[in-house]
Amino acid sequence: MAKCVFKGVATALITPFAEDGSVNYDKLAELTHTQIEQGINALVPCGTTGEKSTLRHEEHVRVIETVVKAAAGRVPVIAGTGSNDTLYSVELSQAAVAVGADALLTVTPYYNKTSQSGLIEHFTYIADRVTKPLILYNIPSRTGMNILPETYAALSRHPMIAGVKEANGDFSAMARTRMLCGEDFAIYAGNDDQTLPVASLGGAGVISVLSNLLPGQMANLTALALGGDFAGALRLQNRLLPLMNALLADVNPIPIKAAMTLAGFAAGRCRMPLAAPSPALTGRLRQEMAALGLAVN
């Protein structure tokens, strides 16, 4: 398997949009700088939080390139390049590598769901055709497709497959994955509120939504958890938990973009079909952010 891409916290970056709905590349570069300055260990453009599904191919590649240039080698950039079309995932992965991505995040196929053997073929086909490591992305709530521990075991033997962003919430399965794959296969929490339990199972960190807004606090939480200070990590996670829960109150990234806007960052609204945040959600976010001492517009 490939060498671990990062340990700690990676931010699943939002994609800022201007009022006309176009990508605001200047704000994206600004966000990249802020994240790194506040201690983030890696950056993930064009994931679920980055609204990958509504980015045109040219936008997708330019978003990755913008983050790569702004990061300037300070932290790894892990580009979201998954697709339910294996050949297109290869095309997008190769384009991401060409503009400087350090690794690739590849989600399970969605809609035209496949079998476990199909997953092995799909990810192996991509991994055979790229020169940067793959981090698999398992999020059954979005795709209707779950990767089993035995499938991870088969895939972990590939020299370009480095780990997984695990968002299935099945801790028993994660423990079995760790047992079957060994310590060199990196398991990252796919949900902020699972940072601590995944670390306790030998995980390598988290790919975080909340860190768009609170990069320093998520970096601290992850460092505590990975350092074995589970009591300290639990105290901080419990403090952040109400806001973590609020960010799950609507379809990601609607809540995080609303929270960023409340904090004064011009995130823009999500592209359709995602709707604008409801007044109830906005009020809840405002309340939880204020409880953490954040200045709220």
Which residues are the active-site residues?
Answer: 137, 165
Q: How far is CA 129 from CA 98, 119, 155, in A?
A: 13, 16, 15
CB 162 within 8 A of CB 133: yes
Strands 161-166 and 134-138 come out as: parallel
8 φ/ψ angles, rounded to the nearest 5 degrees: 125, -135
- Contacts by 17-25 with C-beta closer than 8 Å and gap 24+? 17/267, 17/268, 17/269, 17/270, 17/271, 18/268, 19/268, 21/268, 21/271, 23/55, 23/59, 23/62, 23/63, 24/266, 24/268, 25/62, 25/63, 25/66
Strands 205-208 and 8-12 come out as: parallel
